[in-house]
Amino acid sequence: MLGKKLVTAQKRGETRALCLGLGMVACSMMMYFFIGITIVPFYTKSVWTTETMCKVLRANIKEQAPCPSSEGSEDDAFPYPCLQVWVNLTASGQEVMLYQTEETLERNPKCSYVPGKSENSKEIKTRIETIATNFQKYQTFPCYYDPGGTQTSVILSRLYPLKGLLFAFLWPTLMFTGGCLIIFLVKISQYVSVLSAWQ
């Protein structure tokens, strides 16, 4: 009687462990799919792939010409000082405009920095002035440019660099590996149990 209870408890434990492993594998596949349709396209579409050094030529703030937050979207627009940073690209020696990220160029190609939505215009002005001061202080820094030449501008940092993409794939990979390991151990346990019963 005790042996039957132990066998039943073992089967229940194996079933739960197997469901856990399958659930982990299914969740990891969903995470792979989500990353594949959200982050990967942004990474592959970015043309700013090569890192080089940029030297600041001038950083101007147009106080009298505030820029909208996005072109063609008056509802989301709000005025803010427009910071324009021009740099000398070491790789080609060209004078080009610097943007914070790829998204900055899409939101407003006239400004190097686009702040997030905020009702406090004084904080935005102070932040932009601080950024301009930092560019004047640290005049040489790494930046990214388009080696193909389709984009003449450069960006300060990529939204989704290679390290960030690999880090995004790290957690679903660990979950997938753990799920497969649980399933493998359950199958090994079942095989050993069947082999012992047969002997």
Per domain, the residue ranges of the chain are 50-159, 161-198
What percent of the chain has a predicted confidence (pLDDT) above 70? 84
Predicted confidence at residue 189, as pLDDT, reads 82
Q: Residue 172's pLDDT band (boundaries 50, 70, 90)?
A: very high
For 112-184, strand residue ranges (E) read: 140-145, 154-155
pLDDT tens digits, residue range 32-73?
A: 999 989 888 888 888 888 888 999 998 888 865 555 544 445
Q: What is the pLDDT of residues 147-163, one digit of tens each?
A: 887 888 899 998 888 88
Of all helices (H) and strands (E), which one includes residue 184?
Answer: helix 162-198
pLDDT at 123: 83
Give the model's pLDDT for residue 68: 55
How much is the pTM?
A: 0.69
CA quadruple 19, 24, 25, 30: dihedral positive or negative?
Answer: positive
Q: Six-digit token pair at 16?
A: 């739960």
